[in-house]
Amino acid sequence: MNDRICPILYIVIPCYNEQEVLPITAPMFLQKLTDLTAAGKISPDSRVLFVNDGSKDRTWEIINELAASDAHYVGICQSRNRGHQNAVLAGLMEALHSGSCDITISIDCDGQDDINAMDEMVKKYLDGAEVVYGVRSRRDTDTFFKRFTAEGFYHVMNALGADIVFNHADYRLISTRVLESFADYKEVNIFLRGMVPLVGFAHDVVTYERHERLAGESHYPLSKMLALAFDGITSL
């Protein structure tokens, strides 16, 4: 159990061309902070941290508007599009270097990952877990091709000896203790779902159902999924 009664949580959200969905999901993330704070689970100093990954639409403008409307919203902007994994990592390191963060939860902006799973993630952290993985209970919303290739990828990685959590993407809680150790990694081709388990520390799992995207279009086509898989296999 962490000594701090109410840990400061940073919800880290990578954003790339999310002008359609951001106005919908941003209030949901803020409400989750409010609910967890009211329940005495996290500190009122917790934040929603958006990472603009070189968006070409109004995403960064919207993030600035959100930050001006409520101090719980903060954002950083990358100089160019560096990809989802680097955007997540940039947000995690920003939270770590803020000097006031105890735990982070990374989650995509599109509303597909069940935001209510955060309650159980924080609970498991308070019970002693330093990393809590969000794991999909099923893949009903995927096409057959995506489901087949995704599950095949996890099997291949495990067969190659990688310590990777089946059906886990990048929805996870990480404590600052873990991030401090993780910051020492100098990997260039980032594959977080394979790198985080290498750091060690006590971990747990929360299962959840994934939903359809709330608005806009996916920015992770087959080419990017294959590139991520290639990075996972070659660099890990």
Instruction: Report d(CA 213, CA 25) in Å as an integer.
Output: 10
Instruction: Report d(CA 151, CA 145) in Å as an integer.
Output: 10
pTM comes to 0.81
Strand-pair category, 131-136 with 168-175: antiparallel
183 — pLDDT class (breaks 50, 70, 90): confident
Average pLDDT over the chain, rounded to an integer? 84
Instruction: Report d(CA 35, CA 124) in Å as an integer.
Output: 17
Backbone angles phi, psi at 20, to 5 degrees: -75, -40
- Rounded to 5 degrees, what angle do the CA atoms 12, 50, 187 make? 55
Burial class (CB in 10 A: 0-12, 13-18, 19+), 171: buried
Our measurement of the distance from residue 22's CA atom to the centroid of its chain's CA atoms, rounded to an integer in Å, reads 15
Read off the amino acid at residue 21: V
The string of pLDDT tens digits covering residues 1-49 is 444 579 999 999 999 999 999 999 999 999 999 999 999 999 999 999 9
Q: At what angle do helices 192-199 and 84-97 cross, to 10 degrees?
A: 40
Q: What number of helices (H) and strands (E) belong to the chain?
A: 8, 7
What sign does the CA torsion over 34, 36, 38, 43 have? negative
Q: Which residue has the higher pLDDT, 39 or 147?
A: 39
For the chain, how many residues are written?
236
List the one residue out of 66, 27, 25 whose CA is nearest residue 211: 25
Q: What is the DSSP letter of 195?
A: H
| Backbone Cα Rg of the chain | 17
Judge contact between 132 and 167, C-beta under 8 A: no
The string of pLDDT tens digits covering residues 45-90 is 999 999 999 999 999 999 999 999 999 999 999 999 988 889 999 9
- Strand residue runs (E) in 88-130: 103-106
Q: What is the DSSP letter of 83?
A: -
